[in-house]
Amino acid sequence: MQRYIWQSPDWPRLRWEEARLLAPLSRCRLIQGKLLGQMTALDRETGMQAWADLLVEEAVETSHIEGQILDRKTVRSSVARRLGLDAAGLPRPESGADGLVAVLLDATEGYEKPLTTPRLKSWQAALFPTGYSGLYRIIVGDWRGPSPMRIVSGPLGREKVHYEAPPPDRIEEEMAGFLHWWETSRQEMDGILRAGIAHFRFVTIHPFEDGNGRIARAITDMAMAQDQGASRRYYSLSAQIMACREAYYDVLEKTQKGDGDITEWLEWFFDCFEGAIRRSADLLHNVLVKAAFWRQHAQTQMNDRQQKVINRLLDSGKGGFEGGLTTRKYVSMAKVSRSTAQREIRDLLEKGVLAENPGAGRSTSYDLIWPETDTFQDIPTTS
Protein backbone atom coordinates (compact mmCIF):
# COMPACT_ATOMS: atom_id res chain seq x y z
CA MET A 1 0.00 0.00 0.00
CA GLN A 2 1.35 3.41 -0.98
CA ARG A 3 1.96 5.81 1.92
CA TYR A 4 4.48 8.19 0.42
CA ILE A 5 4.96 9.92 -2.91
CA TRP A 6 8.17 8.05 -3.73
CA GLN A 7 6.24 4.75 -3.61
CA SER A 8 4.08 5.88 -6.54
CA PRO A 9 4.82 4.13 -9.86
CA ASP A 10 4.98 7.63 -11.44
CA TRP A 11 7.71 8.90 -9.10
CA PRO A 12 9.75 11.03 -9.71
CA ARG A 13 7.42 12.46 -12.37
CA LEU A 14 5.55 15.28 -10.68
CA ARG A 15 2.60 17.33 -11.87
CA TRP A 16 1.01 20.67 -11.01
CA GLU A 17 -1.87 22.90 -12.10
CA GLU A 18 -0.33 25.67 -14.17
CA ALA A 19 -3.47 27.81 -14.02
CA ARG A 20 -3.24 28.02 -10.23
CA LEU A 21 0.45 28.93 -10.34
CA LEU A 22 0.39 31.64 -13.00
CA ALA A 23 -0.66 34.53 -10.76
CA PRO A 24 1.62 33.77 -7.78
CA LEU A 25 4.58 33.15 -10.08
CA SER A 26 3.93 36.45 -11.85
CA ARG A 27 3.91 38.26 -8.48
CA CYS A 28 7.23 36.62 -7.61
CA ARG A 29 8.78 37.83 -10.84
CA LEU A 30 7.41 41.34 -10.36
CA ILE A 31 8.67 41.79 -6.82
CA GLN A 32 11.99 40.07 -7.61
CA GLY A 33 12.61 42.46 -10.48
CA LYS A 34 11.73 45.42 -8.32
CA LEU A 35 14.23 44.46 -5.62
CA LEU A 36 16.99 43.67 -8.09
CA GLY A 37 16.39 47.00 -9.82
CA GLN A 38 16.81 48.84 -6.54
CA MET A 39 19.93 46.92 -5.54
CA THR A 40 21.71 47.63 -8.84
CA ALA A 41 21.72 51.30 -7.83
CA LEU A 42 23.98 50.54 -4.85
CA ASP A 43 27.68 51.30 -5.02
CA ARG A 44 30.07 48.34 -4.79
CA GLU A 45 30.90 48.73 -1.08
CA THR A 46 27.27 49.19 0.02
CA GLY A 47 26.13 46.31 -2.18
CA MET A 48 28.79 44.02 -0.72
CA GLN A 49 27.79 44.92 2.84
CA ALA A 50 24.12 44.34 2.08
CA TRP A 51 24.96 40.95 0.59
CA ALA A 52 27.05 40.07 3.65
CA ASP A 53 24.17 41.01 5.98
CA LEU A 54 21.75 38.76 4.09
CA LEU A 55 24.29 35.92 4.00
CA VAL A 56 24.58 36.10 7.79
CA GLU A 57 20.78 36.03 8.01
CA GLU A 58 20.61 33.01 5.69
CA ALA A 59 23.20 31.03 7.66
CA VAL A 60 21.66 31.77 11.05
CA GLU A 61 18.10 31.03 9.99
CA THR A 62 18.76 27.88 7.92
CA SER A 63 20.33 26.38 11.05
CA HIS A 64 17.55 27.71 13.29
CA ILE A 65 14.97 25.81 11.21
CA GLU A 66 16.73 22.59 12.27
CA GLY A 67 16.85 23.67 15.93
CA GLN A 68 20.52 24.72 15.88
CA ILE A 69 21.20 28.19 17.26
CA LEU A 70 24.33 29.78 15.81
CA ASP A 71 26.06 32.76 17.38
CA ARG A 72 25.43 35.63 14.98
CA LYS A 73 28.81 37.26 15.69
CA THR A 74 30.77 34.12 14.80
CA VAL A 75 28.74 33.75 11.62
CA ARG A 76 29.42 37.38 10.74
CA SER A 77 33.11 36.77 11.42
CA SER A 78 33.14 33.85 8.99
CA VAL A 79 31.26 35.84 6.33
CA ALA A 80 33.56 38.85 6.72
CA ARG A 81 36.71 36.77 6.42
CA ARG A 82 35.48 34.82 3.40
CA LEU A 83 34.32 37.98 1.59
CA GLY A 84 37.41 39.98 2.48
CA LEU A 85 35.51 42.46 4.67
CA ASP A 86 36.67 44.07 7.91
CA ALA A 87 36.48 41.49 10.73
CA ALA A 88 38.05 43.68 13.44
CA GLY A 89 36.50 43.05 16.86
CA LEU A 90 34.71 39.89 15.75
CA PRO A 91 35.46 36.50 17.35
CA ARG A 92 37.21 33.71 15.48
CA PRO A 93 34.78 31.69 13.34
CA GLU A 94 33.52 28.41 14.77
CA SER A 95 34.10 25.36 12.58
CA GLY A 96 30.42 24.42 12.18
CA ALA A 97 29.31 27.95 11.32
CA ASP A 98 32.31 28.44 9.04
CA GLY A 99 31.50 25.20 7.23
CA LEU A 100 27.90 26.32 6.65
CA VAL A 101 29.01 29.69 5.29
CA ALA A 102 31.45 27.87 2.99
CA VAL A 103 28.59 25.71 1.67
CA LEU A 104 26.30 28.69 1.04
CA LEU A 105 29.05 30.58 -0.79
CA ASP A 106 30.06 27.55 -2.83
CA ALA A 107 26.43 27.03 -3.86
CA THR A 108 25.93 30.63 -4.96
CA GLU A 109 29.35 31.85 -6.07
CA GLY A 110 29.89 28.50 -7.81
CA TYR A 111 26.43 28.36 -9.34
CA GLU A 112 27.83 27.58 -12.79
CA LYS A 113 29.82 24.58 -11.57
CA PRO A 114 28.14 21.16 -11.99
CA LEU A 115 26.19 19.83 -9.04
CA THR A 116 27.71 16.40 -8.46
CA THR A 117 27.63 13.62 -5.88
CA PRO A 118 31.13 14.46 -4.53
CA ARG A 119 30.17 18.13 -4.24
CA LEU A 120 27.01 17.36 -2.27
CA LYS A 121 28.89 14.98 0.00
CA SER A 122 31.54 17.62 0.66
CA TRP A 123 28.81 20.09 1.62
CA GLN A 124 27.35 17.66 4.13
CA ALA A 125 30.79 16.94 5.60
CA ALA A 126 31.43 20.66 5.99
CA LEU A 127 28.29 20.99 8.13
CA PHE A 128 29.56 18.40 10.63
CA PRO A 129 33.34 18.85 10.89
CA THR A 130 33.55 16.85 14.14
CA GLY A 131 31.55 13.90 12.79
CA TYR A 132 28.85 14.56 15.39
CA SER A 133 25.37 16.01 15.21
CA GLY A 134 24.80 17.18 18.76
CA LEU A 135 25.77 14.23 20.97
CA TYR A 136 25.49 11.61 18.26
CA ARG A 137 28.12 10.38 15.81
CA ILE A 138 26.75 10.38 12.28
CA ILE A 139 27.87 9.38 8.81
CA VAL A 140 29.51 12.42 7.19
CA GLY A 141 30.57 12.85 3.60
CA ASP A 142 28.49 9.90 2.40
CA TRP A 143 24.91 8.76 1.98
CA ARG A 144 23.02 7.58 5.05
CA GLY A 145 23.32 4.05 6.39
CA PRO A 146 20.96 1.05 6.58
CA SER A 147 18.63 2.34 9.31
CA PRO A 148 15.24 3.70 8.16
CA MET A 149 15.18 7.50 7.82
CA ARG A 150 12.06 8.81 9.50
CA ILE A 151 10.84 12.29 10.45
CA VAL A 152 9.21 11.88 13.85
CA SER A 153 7.85 13.99 16.67
CA GLY A 154 6.54 13.32 20.15
CA PRO A 155 7.97 11.68 23.30
CA LEU A 156 9.95 8.45 23.23
CA GLY A 157 7.65 5.47 22.87
CA ARG A 158 4.80 7.58 21.50
CA GLU A 159 6.47 9.06 18.43
CA LYS A 160 4.43 10.16 15.48
CA VAL A 161 5.99 9.31 12.10
CA HIS A 162 5.46 12.22 9.72
CA TYR A 163 7.51 10.86 6.87
CA GLU A 164 9.79 7.96 5.94
CA ALA A 165 12.35 8.45 3.17
CA PRO A 166 13.20 5.93 0.45
CA PRO A 167 15.30 2.97 1.69
CA PRO A 168 19.09 3.35 1.50
CA ASP A 169 19.45 0.87 -1.38
CA ARG A 170 17.54 3.34 -3.58
CA ILE A 171 19.62 6.44 -2.78
CA GLU A 172 22.21 6.02 -5.55
CA GLU A 173 19.50 5.65 -8.18
CA GLU A 174 17.37 8.45 -6.72
CA MET A 175 20.26 10.91 -6.57
CA ALA A 176 21.48 10.01 -10.05
CA GLY A 177 17.99 10.80 -11.32
CA PHE A 178 17.86 14.03 -9.35
CA LEU A 179 21.24 15.26 -10.62
CA HIS A 180 20.32 14.41 -14.22
CA TRP A 181 17.05 16.33 -13.84
CA TRP A 182 18.97 19.24 -12.28
CA GLU A 183 21.16 19.59 -15.35
CA THR A 184 18.47 19.10 -17.99
CA SER A 185 15.72 21.17 -16.33
CA ARG A 186 17.66 24.44 -16.30
CA GLN A 187 16.80 25.22 -19.90
CA GLU A 188 13.33 23.72 -19.77
CA MET A 189 11.39 25.53 -17.03
CA ASP A 190 11.03 28.76 -15.12
CA GLY A 191 13.83 29.22 -12.58
CA ILE A 192 11.65 29.87 -9.53
CA LEU A 193 9.49 26.85 -10.38
CA ARG A 194 12.65 24.77 -10.77
CA ALA A 195 13.94 25.95 -7.37
CA GLY A 196 10.72 24.84 -5.67
CA ILE A 197 10.78 21.44 -7.35
CA ALA A 198 14.48 20.92 -6.54
CA HIS A 199 13.87 21.69 -2.88
CA PHE A 200 10.97 19.26 -2.69
CA ARG A 201 12.71 16.43 -4.54
CA PHE A 202 15.88 16.64 -2.44
CA VAL A 203 14.17 16.67 0.96
CA THR A 204 11.92 13.82 -0.21
CA ILE A 205 14.95 11.66 -1.11
CA HIS A 206 16.65 12.70 2.17
CA PRO A 207 19.99 11.14 1.18
CA PHE A 208 22.06 12.07 4.23
CA GLU A 209 21.83 11.06 7.86
CA ASP A 210 21.66 14.73 8.85
CA GLY A 211 21.87 18.13 7.19
CA ASN A 212 19.31 17.41 4.46
CA GLY A 213 17.26 20.55 5.12
CA ARG A 214 20.26 22.87 5.07
CA ILE A 215 21.59 21.31 1.88
CA ALA A 216 18.14 21.45 0.26
CA ARG A 217 18.03 25.18 0.98
CA ALA A 218 21.58 25.61 -0.36
CA ILE A 219 20.46 23.85 -3.56
CA THR A 220 17.47 26.21 -3.69
CA ASP A 221 19.84 29.18 -3.34
CA MET A 222 21.97 27.76 -6.16
CA ALA A 223 18.90 27.41 -8.37
CA MET A 224 17.99 31.04 -7.72
CA ALA A 225 21.56 32.17 -8.47
CA GLN A 226 21.37 30.29 -11.77
CA ASP A 227 18.00 31.87 -12.49
CA GLN A 228 19.36 35.38 -11.87
CA GLY A 229 22.72 34.70 -13.47
CA ALA A 230 24.39 36.24 -10.43
CA SER A 231 25.79 34.96 -7.15
CA ARG A 232 24.41 37.73 -4.95
CA ARG A 233 20.86 37.45 -3.70
CA TYR A 234 19.45 40.18 -1.50
CA TYR A 235 16.83 38.04 0.22
CA SER A 236 16.83 35.03 2.53
CA LEU A 237 14.41 32.19 1.85
CA SER A 238 15.54 30.49 5.06
CA ALA A 239 14.56 33.49 7.18
CA GLN A 240 11.08 33.42 5.68
CA ILE A 241 10.77 29.63 6.08
CA MET A 242 11.78 30.02 9.73
CA ALA A 243 9.07 32.65 10.17
CA CYS A 244 6.45 30.11 9.06
CA ARG A 245 8.23 26.87 9.94
CA GLU A 246 5.12 25.00 11.07
CA ALA A 247 3.36 25.65 7.76
CA TYR A 248 6.54 24.59 5.92
CA TYR A 249 6.59 21.20 7.58
CA ASP A 250 2.81 20.78 7.25
CA VAL A 251 2.77 21.35 3.47
CA LEU A 252 5.83 19.16 2.98
CA GLU A 253 4.24 16.30 4.90
CA LYS A 254 0.95 16.62 3.04
CA THR A 255 2.66 16.69 -0.36
CA GLN A 256 5.03 13.84 0.50
CA LYS A 257 2.00 11.72 1.36
CA GLY A 258 0.21 12.75 -1.84
CA ASP A 259 -0.24 11.28 -5.27
CA GLY A 260 2.36 13.33 -7.16
CA ASP A 261 0.44 16.61 -7.52
CA ILE A 262 2.70 19.25 -5.94
CA THR A 263 0.56 22.30 -6.75
CA GLU A 264 -0.06 23.11 -3.10
CA TRP A 265 3.64 22.87 -2.27
CA LEU A 266 4.56 25.17 -5.16
CA GLU A 267 1.88 27.70 -4.17
CA TRP A 268 3.35 27.72 -0.68
CA PHE A 269 6.90 28.02 -2.04
CA PHE A 270 5.99 30.97 -4.29
CA ASP A 271 4.27 32.68 -1.36
CA CYS A 272 7.40 32.06 0.74
CA PHE A 273 9.59 33.50 -2.02
CA GLU A 274 7.49 36.65 -2.21
CA GLY A 275 7.53 36.95 1.57
CA ALA A 276 11.31 36.54 1.62
CA ILE A 277 11.78 39.48 -0.72
CA ARG A 278 9.35 41.66 1.22
CA ARG A 279 11.13 40.72 4.45
CA SER A 280 14.53 41.53 2.96
CA ALA A 281 13.22 44.81 1.60
CA ASP A 282 12.39 45.79 5.18
CA LEU A 283 15.84 44.69 6.38
CA LEU A 284 17.53 46.60 3.57
CA HIS A 285 15.33 49.68 3.76
CA ASN A 286 18.01 51.87 5.32
CA VAL A 287 20.56 50.67 2.77
CA LEU A 288 18.23 51.62 -0.07
CA VAL A 289 17.36 54.99 1.48
CA LYS A 290 21.04 55.78 2.02
CA ALA A 291 21.83 54.93 -1.59
CA ALA A 292 18.91 57.06 -2.81
CA PHE A 293 20.07 59.99 -0.68
CA TRP A 294 23.63 59.99 -2.02
CA ARG A 295 22.35 59.49 -5.54
CA GLN A 296 20.15 62.58 -5.11
CA HIS A 297 23.08 64.60 -3.72
CA ALA A 298 25.79 63.28 -6.03
CA GLN A 299 26.58 66.85 -7.14
CA THR A 300 26.14 68.53 -3.75
CA GLN A 301 29.43 69.85 -2.38
CA MET A 302 30.04 68.72 1.22
CA ASN A 303 33.19 68.37 3.29
CA ASP A 304 34.21 65.15 5.09
CA ARG A 305 32.76 66.33 8.42
CA GLN A 306 29.37 67.07 6.90
CA GLN A 307 29.33 63.69 5.17
CA LYS A 308 30.20 61.94 8.43
CA VAL A 309 27.31 63.59 10.29
CA ILE A 310 24.86 62.90 7.48
CA ASN A 311 25.85 59.23 7.40
CA ARG A 312 25.14 59.02 11.13
CA LEU A 313 21.64 60.38 10.50
CA LEU A 314 21.13 57.99 7.59
CA ASP A 315 22.29 55.01 9.64
CA SER A 316 19.80 55.91 12.37
CA GLY A 317 16.92 55.84 9.91
CA LYS A 318 14.08 58.29 9.49
CA GLY A 319 13.02 59.50 12.94
CA GLY A 320 15.64 57.29 14.57
CA PHE A 321 18.07 60.03 15.64
CA GLU A 322 16.54 60.89 18.98
CA GLY A 323 15.93 64.59 19.50
CA GLY A 324 17.13 65.45 16.00
CA LEU A 325 20.45 66.99 15.04
CA THR A 326 21.45 69.96 17.19
CA THR A 327 24.47 72.21 17.11
CA ARG A 328 25.77 70.53 20.25
CA LYS A 329 25.50 67.07 18.70
CA TYR A 330 27.17 68.28 15.51
CA VAL A 331 30.09 69.64 17.59
CA SER A 332 30.44 66.27 19.31
CA MET A 333 30.27 64.17 16.12
CA ALA A 334 32.38 66.39 13.86
CA LYS A 335 34.88 67.49 16.53
CA VAL A 336 34.61 71.17 15.60
CA SER A 337 33.90 74.43 17.38
CA ARG A 338 30.36 75.65 17.91
CA SER A 339 30.76 78.44 15.34
CA THR A 340 32.04 75.98 12.72
CA ALA A 341 29.15 73.64 13.49
CA GLN A 342 26.64 76.44 13.03
CA ARG A 343 28.25 77.49 9.74
CA GLU A 344 28.28 73.94 8.36
CA ILE A 345 24.68 73.28 9.43
CA ARG A 346 23.60 76.53 7.76
CA ASP A 347 25.40 75.45 4.59
CA LEU A 348 23.49 72.15 4.60
CA LEU A 349 20.21 73.99 5.12
CA GLU A 350 20.90 76.24 2.12
CA LYS A 351 21.77 73.24 -0.05
CA GLY A 352 18.52 71.46 0.77
CA VAL A 353 20.18 68.65 2.71
CA LEU A 354 18.77 69.53 6.13
CA ALA A 355 15.53 71.09 7.28
CA GLU A 356 14.64 72.64 10.65
CA ASN A 357 12.30 70.51 12.73
CA PRO A 358 9.02 72.24 13.59
CA GLY A 359 8.07 73.01 17.17
CA ALA A 360 11.57 72.70 18.58
CA GLY A 361 11.01 75.31 21.29
CA ARG A 362 14.16 76.79 22.79
CA SER A 363 16.47 74.18 21.25
CA THR A 364 16.57 74.20 17.46
CA SER A 365 17.02 70.79 15.86
CA TYR A 366 17.35 69.56 12.30
CA ASP A 367 16.68 66.46 10.26
CA LEU A 368 17.55 65.29 6.79
CA ILE A 369 15.27 65.99 3.89
CA TRP A 370 14.70 62.32 3.28
CA PRO A 371 14.48 61.04 -0.30
CA GLU A 372 11.33 59.40 -1.50
CA THR A 373 11.98 55.70 -2.05
CA ASP A 374 9.90 53.13 -3.88
CA THR A 375 8.26 50.45 -1.77
CA PHE A 376 6.59 47.11 -2.34
CA GLN A 377 3.22 48.18 -0.99
CA ASP A 378 1.74 48.67 -4.47
CA ILE A 379 2.25 45.02 -5.39
CA PRO A 380 -0.87 42.96 -4.59
CA THR A 381 -0.42 40.01 -2.27
CA THR A 382 -3.40 38.08 -3.56
CA SER A 383 -4.40 37.08 -7.03
- On the question of pLDDT at 20 being above 90, the answer is yes
Task: For residue range 57-82, list pLDDT tens digits in order.
Answer: 999 999 999 989 999 999 999 999 99
261: which strand partners? 15
**DSSP per-residue letters across 33-87:** HHHHHHHTTS-HHHHHHHHHHHHHHHHHHHHHHTT----HHHHHHHHHHHHT---
Q: What percent of the chain has pLDDT over 90?
A: 73
CB atoms within 10 A of CB 314: 21
Cβ(171)–Cβ(121) below 8 Å:
no
How confident is the prediction for the chain on average, in pLDDT? 91
Cβ neighbours of 239 (radius 10 Å): 21
376 confidence band (pLDDT: 50, 70, 90): low
Q: How confident is the model at residue 361 (pLDDT cuts 50, 70, 90)?
A: low
Give the mean model confidence (pLDDT) for residues 22-43.
89
Instruction: Count other C-beta atoms under 10 Å from residue 349's C-beta.
Output: 14
pLDDT in tens, 170-218: 999 999 999 999 999 999 999 999 999 999 999 999 999 999 999 999 9
Please report the DSSP string for 258-292 in residue order.
SSSB-HHHHHHHHHHHHHHHHHHHHHTHHHHHHHH
Domains in the chain and their CATH numbers? 5-283 (1.10.3290.10), 287-368 (1.10.10.10)
8 Å CB contact between 325 and 354: yes
The amino acid sitting at 280 is: S
Across 357-383, average pLDDT: 71
- Helix H or strand E segment including 175: helix 171-185
